[in-house]
Amino acid sequence: MHDSKLIRYLKILDEAELKRLLYFLKSPFYNANPHILKLYMLLRPEHPGFNSPKLTRERLFKKLFRDRVYDHQKMLNLMSDFTQLLEKYMIALQLEKEEDMQDQLLLTSFGERPEGYAAFEKTAERIGQKRDALPYRDTGYYRWKFQLGQQYFNHPATDKFELSKDRYDDAMEQLDRWFILEKLLLSCEMKAREKPLSEEYEIWLLPEIRAGLPHYPMQDAITGVYLEMLDLLEKEEPDSYYRLKALFMENLARFTRQQQQNVLQSLINYTIREGNRGNKPFLQENLALYRLGLESGLFQEGGLLNDMVYISVVNVANRAGETAWCGHFIRDFEPALEQSIRKDASALARALWLYACQKPEETMELLQKIEFLNIYYQIQARVLMIKVCFEAFRKDDHYQELVVSLADAFRQFLRRNKRVSRSQKEALLNFAHCVGQLAKWRTDPGFDRQKRVELKQEWNSLTPLYNKTWILQQTDQ
């Protein structure tokens, strides 16, 4: 019972949705089986966990059918019927949010009825005007406009000979714009994968689209933004970044939320790469973009903040020297984290912040108290512990054995773990190797200034290397 599809679906609903389900099941339009309503009333108190050991098919059947012997198939059929109704309920909930889909279904409903053509025409006109009044133009706009035209053209009662040439030109233009925007967006996503994943894509018609757009103006800022995104991904030049950022900021209100998220992430990715290359001004750029996303709510979904974004903001703020702001951020946004990962995410964030505030003892104490379950957190915690201990070793040689041991253990952890990507694993293994070697050589009397210079040059060219800037700083000290 606990693993049934019915229980899994009920767990998905929040309290308000579960309450509304009662009215849905009471409606004779949807439900004519009173036992489904009774089953709902029996299950409702178990929300949200549904983990009571008393929650069995046999117990529920006895309460539903007091005078009958347990019938397994009958119980399965009842649960199946309830599950089907629950799926219809979830569709209804989603349809409430999808005004475009409601319009489309209403138009289709009128279009399928012989006497509904007048209503069909008026509805098509109303939907078109509503779409035109939107402040943005995205792929959804052009797709709906094109499909709306197709429904009108292909209706049996539409006199095609009365349709003007302009109507057909407009339809083709909507199709072209829909295709071009979708092509540019997907091209940006594919190009973003090429370098980090060592992939290469040949994108059909992309060169022709880029060459032809100057002769076919899209009149939409998002088109120029996608072109600049492609340019930034391919050239990785500051000029491309600043052009894209300017277009983004000037037209922010004209973009959909999804468009805003796509462009912002592209800008953030570039500033991260530049910051990792040692270009310090881009650390502030990176932090400013994250703050814009936080203030605009672009990182929150359903009121929740993704924990990867949470930790990334902490890392960036610390690297940019904004530790005071970072402390407030950790506290203020902790409640926005999903409850299941809140404790671990906030603990890792505080450890990173304590390290940035130059409080190594408190950092070590906190890391030793928490056993992180998330593999990403485990990696960050291990790296942080190695860095804290190595910096202590610079002042006290007694830490040498501990540093070497931590580096060796980290290498073994990475080699055993199959959930870490190959590229990330290579960078982290190189980090552990460099730390271990440096810990051994620092106490070697022959490790003179010349050898430090040679080692720094060697590691500077080592790719990929996690925390390369920190590693190179340690060779100087």
Q: Which of 279, 457, 467 is nearest to 379 (CA)?
A: 467
Q: Which residue has the tokens 């990403």?
A: 376
- On the CB side of 128, CA atoms within 13 Å amount to 18
DSSP three-state, residue 77: helix
Instruction: Check: CB of residue 153 under 8 Å from CB of residue 198.
Output: no
Instruction: Check: CB of residue 137 under 8 Å from CB of residue 143.
Output: no
Element (H, E) at 251: none
Instruction: Check: CB of residue 414 under 8 Å from CB of residue 420.
Output: yes
Q: Where are the alpha helices (DSSP H) in 320-419?
A: 323-333, 339-356, 360-369, 375-393, 400-416
Question: In Å, how far from its chain's centre is CA 437?
Answer: 37
Q: Which of 416, 405, 400, 362 is nearest to 382 (CA)?
A: 405
- Dihedral angle over CA of 134, 135, 140, 146, nearest 10: 60
Mind listing the pLDDT tens digit of every residue in the chain (477 residues)? Answer: 888 999 999 999 999 999 999 999 999 999 999 999 999 999 999 999 999 998 999 999 999 999 899 999 999 999 999 999 999 999 999 999 999 899 999 999 999 998 999 999 999 999 999 989 988 888 888 999 999 999 999 999 998 888 899 999 999 999 999 999 999 999 999 998 887 777 899 999 999 999 888 877 666 788 889 999 999 999 999 999 999 999 999 999 888 899 999 999 999 999 998 988 888 899 999 999 999 999 999 999 989 999 999 999 999 999 999 999 999 999 999 999 999 999 999 999 999 999 999 999 999 999 998 888 889 999 999 999 999 999 999 899 999 999 999 999 999 999 998 888 888 899 999 999 999 999 988 888 777 888 888 888 999 999 889 998 899 999 887
pTM of the model: 0.78
